[in-house]
A and B are shown apart, each in its own frame.
Chain A
Amino acid sequence: MTRLMSNASYLQNLLATGPNSSTLGPDWLQVRREEARQQWLRAGLPANTDEQWRFTDLSFLAETSFSTGCSAAARAAEARPTGLDGAELVLINGKFNAQASRLPPAPVRVAFLAQASGAELATFEKLLGAQARPAHHGMIALNTANMSDVVLVEVPGGVAVERPLSLIVHSVGTEPFATYPRILLKVGDNSSMTVVLNFTGPDDLTYLTNSVLETYVGAGSRVELVKIQREGTAALHIGSDYAHLAKDVRFQSLSLNQGGLLVRNNVTVTLAGPGCEATLNGLSMTAGRQHVDNHTMLDHAREHCESHELYKSLLAGRSSGTFTGKILVRPGSQKTDAKQTSKAVLLSGQASMNSQPQLEIYADDVKCTHGSTNGPLDEEQLFYLRARGLAYNQARAMLTGAFAADVLARVWQPEVRGTLEDLVVVELHRLEREEF
Chain B
Amino acid sequence: MSILEIKDLRAGIAGREILRGVNLTIAPGEVHAIMGPNGSGKSTLAQVLAGRDTYAVTGGEVRLNGRDLLDLSPEERACEGLFLAFQYPVEIPGVSTSYFLKAALNAVRKYHGEPELDAMDFLKLMKQKMKLLDMDASFLSRAVNEGFSGGEKKRNEILQMAVLDPKLAILDETDSGLDIDALRIVAGGVNSLRGSDRGILVVTHYQRLLNYIVPDYVHVLRDGQIIKSGDKNLALELEARGYGWLEEPTAVH
Contact = CB atoms under 8 A, between A and B. Distances in A.
B70 to A, nearest CB: 15
Interface in B42-67: 50-52, 54
Nearest to B89: A384
B94 A403 contact: yes
A424 to B, nearest CB: 13
A386 interface: yes
Contact of B75 (A380, A386, A402): A386
Given A390-B75, A392-B75, A383 B100 contact: no
A385 B92 contact: yes
A390 B104 contact: yes
Nearest to A403: B94
B220 interface: no
Contacts of B91: 381
A402 B84 CA distance: 24
Given A383-B52, A383-B74, A388 B104 contact: yes
Of A380, A388, A390, chain B has the most CB atoms within 10 Å of the CB of A388
A387 B105 CA distance: 12
Contacts of B93: 402
Contacts, number: 72
A29 interface: no
A389 B73 contact: no
A250 to B, nearest CB: 25
Nearest to B52: A383
Interface residues of B, number: 29
A389 B111 contact: yes
B92 A387 contact: no
Tell me what chain A mostly uses at the interface: helix, strand, loop, or mixed: helix
Given A389-B78, A391-B107, A380 B90 contact: yes
A160 interface: no
Given A392-B75, A398-B100, A387 B51 contact: yes
Given A399-B92, A403-B94, A405-B94, A389 B86 contact: no
A394 interface: yes
B73 A386 contact: yes
Interface string A339-375: 0000000000000000000000000000000000000
B106 to A, nearest CB: 9
Nearest to B108: A389
A388 B95 contact: no
Contacts of B108: 389
Given A394-B103, A398-B100, A398-B103, A387 B94 contact: no
Contact of B74 (A387, A394, A398, A402): A387
B94 A381 contact: no
Contacts of A392: 73, 75
B79 interface: yes
A406 interface: yes
Contacts of B160: 388
Nearest to A402: B94
A381 B92 CA distance: 7
Contacts of B103: 390, 394, 398
B95 A402 contact: yes
B52 A389 contact: no
Contacts of A394: 103, 107
Contacts of B51: 383, 386-387
Nearest to B84: A387
Contact of A388 (B73, B78, B94): B78
Contacts of B77: 387
A343 B92 CA distance: 16
A391 B110 CA distance: 11
Contacts of B101: 388
A378 B77 CA distance: 21
Nearest to B109: A389
A401 B96 CA distance: 12
Interface in A249-277: none
Contacts of B75: 386-387, 389-392, 395
Contacts of B50: 383, 387
B190 to A, nearest CB: 18
Contacts of A401: 94
B164 interface: yes
Nearest to A400: B94
Contacts of A403: 94
Contacts of B54: 379
B74 A386 contact: yes
Given A381-B92, A399-B92, A405-B94, A387 B78 contact: yes
Contacts of A406: 94
A384 B84 CA distance: 9
Nearest to B94: A402
Contacts of B84: 387
Contacts of B164: 388-389
Interface string A391-422: 11011001101110110000000000000000
B107 A390 contact: yes
Contacts of B78: 386-389
A383 B79 CA distance: 14
A399 B100 CA distance: 11
A381 B91 CA distance: 7
12 contacts: A383-B74, A384-B92, A386-B51, A387-B78, A388-B101, A389-B79, A389-B105, A390-B75, A390-B104, A391-B75, A391-B107, A394-B103
Given A381-B92, A384-B90, A405-B94, 9 more contacts: A383-B90, A385-B92, A385-B100, A387-B51, A387-B75, A388-B160, A389-B75, A389-B78, A398-B95
Interface of B: 50-52, 54, 73-75, 77-79, 84, 86, 89-95, 100-101, 103-105, 107-108, 111, 160, 164
Interface of A: 378-381, 383-392, 394-395, 398-399, 401-403, 405-406
Q: Which 9 A-B pairs have the closest CB atoms?
A: A402-B94, A389-B78, A388-B104, A386-B74, A384-B90, A389-B107, A389-B108, A386-B75, A402-B95
